[in-house]
Structure 1
């Protein structure tokens, strides 16, 4: 009986993890399972800059592949991957807060807020980071609520 309970618990854990991976792959902003258009998520924090990662320096975290510009950044990510992931699945934070939509981003347009990475659309004379900065607190709350609708 005890072994049966353990086996069922393990099976449930594996199935739940698999479902979480599928949900992330469905709702995150990815190109061939690669996040942030191949930019190094750690560089945003350590270098305060958007730096393209290298294919040979990659990590798969819960089904999503991240690329890194240096072995040190890869190591930092491996120690605490969730702290380096972009908010709202890597979609434009402004659009998520303003309309609850998944809108593409420009990896060079970003902001670190309370130790979290926020990415923004910036094309065709529309830099949404500027709009975000005008009403950040309100847009951040709305974006968090809207993102929960996708991942819950």
Structure 2
């Protein structure tokens, strides 16, 4: 019973967060509630809001990418802070691309496709995971193994659905 209550409470908090984010639109990096894509990209197909996914591994922090250093992968465009990072990505995109298409890992564990915040990230088992915000990331971090099992089961069922339909 406690688990059901905790799940509902967290889900309500996530929904409130998403609703609050909708009040303050971010036109340049809008996430499409109607998209059935398995990738969390903006209208220009830019992934991770233009952040360099290789830098999470090499610099250990979110780093803005530059359009001059870009690469396409599976329908998304990634920006990098350097040609070296772009080339590392091109050599092994699966190593660097965010899991669950860049959607919030905790959201996926709860059968939701929520926007991923490049500042709320963690590398686990050599894979990059994003969360909708740092508060949700903190909750996700309380049981990463369990949440990854739930997300891994949910992702095949929700990845082709629009966020608004979940």
* TM-score above 0.5: yes
Task: Tell me by how many angstroms 1:127 deviates.
Answer: 1.2
Residue 31 (structure 2) aligns with: none
Partner Cα distance (1:142, 1:111) in 2: 17
Partner Cα distance (2:88, 2:47) in 1: 17
Partner Cα distance (1:127, 1:107) in 2: 14
**Structure with a larger share of its residues in strand:** 1
Partner Cα distance (2:59, 2:47) in 1: 18
Show structure 1 runs of 5+ residues with no match: 1-24
Residue 105 (structure 1) aligns with: 116
Task: Tell me by how many angstroms 1:40 deviates.
Answer: 0.5
RMSD over equivalenced CA pairs, Å: 1.7
Residue 155 (structure 2) aligns with: 147
1:105-144 matches, cutoff 5 A: 105-122=116-133, 127-144=135-152
Partner Cα distance (2:102, 2:75) in 1: 14
Q: Which has the higher contact order (CA 8 A, sep 6+)?
A: 2
Contact 2:112 2:158 in 1 (8 A): no
Partner Cα distance (1:35, 1:105) in 2: 10
Show structure 2 runs of 5+ residues with no match: 1-35, 161-166
Residue 38 (structure 2) aligns with: 27
Q: Report the number of matched residues.
A: 125
Residue 92 (structure 1) aligns with: 104
Q: What's the TM-score, normalizing by structure 1?
A: 0.77
Q: What's the TM-score, normalizing by structure 2?
A: 0.71
Partner Cα distance (1:110, 1:52) in 2: 14
Residue 63 (structure 2) aligns with: 51
Partner Cα distance (1:133, 1:64) in 2: 27
Runs of 4 or more consecutive aligned structure 1 residues displaced over 6 Å after TM superposition: none
